[in-house]
């Protein structure tokens, strides 16, 4: 029996919708190891990153997901989850999360 946090549930719903939309573009996908999530990051030029799914529990990563939802809804132009923030910002956030 576990405790469910509303933010985590909402982040998972956003991710699930994004992945359903992205399934139609699966021919462009790379092999993503179990326990990781592929995301595209950047403002003009998009770069792909693999992030651990454990980041979904982190409030700061959930903020990135909400930004992606506000910017793209569930129709991501790259065919996968796209996070609309500068690459340097994303790297700073994820490097902080990996040290937790």
pTM: 0.63
- pLDDT digits over 48-74, tens only? 999 999 999 999 999 988 888 887 776
Tokens of 100: 């937790």
Q: Where are the alpha helices (DSSP H) in 23-86?
A: 59-72
Query: Which residues have CB under 8 Å from 48's CB, separation 6+?
Result: 30, 38, 39, 40, 41, 80
More confident residue, 24 or 43: 43
| Residue 84 contacts residue 43 (beta carbons within 8 Å) | yes
The secondary element (H helix, E strand) that includes residue 12 is helix 6-22
Give percent of the chain with pLDDT exceeding 90.
25
């Amino acid at each position: 029996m576990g405790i469910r946090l509303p933010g985590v549930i909402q982040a998972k719903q956003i991710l699930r919708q994004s992945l359903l939309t992205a399934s139609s573009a699966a021919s462009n996908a790379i092999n993503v190891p179990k326990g990781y999530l592929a995301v595209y990051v950047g403002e003009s030029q998009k770069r792909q990153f693999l992030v651990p799914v454990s980041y979904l529990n982190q409030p700061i990563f959930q903020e990135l997901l909400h930004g992606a939802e506000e910017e793209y809804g569930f129709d991501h132009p790259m065919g996968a989850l796209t996070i609309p923030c500068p690459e340097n910002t994303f790297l700073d956030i994820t490097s902080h999360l990996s040290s937790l």
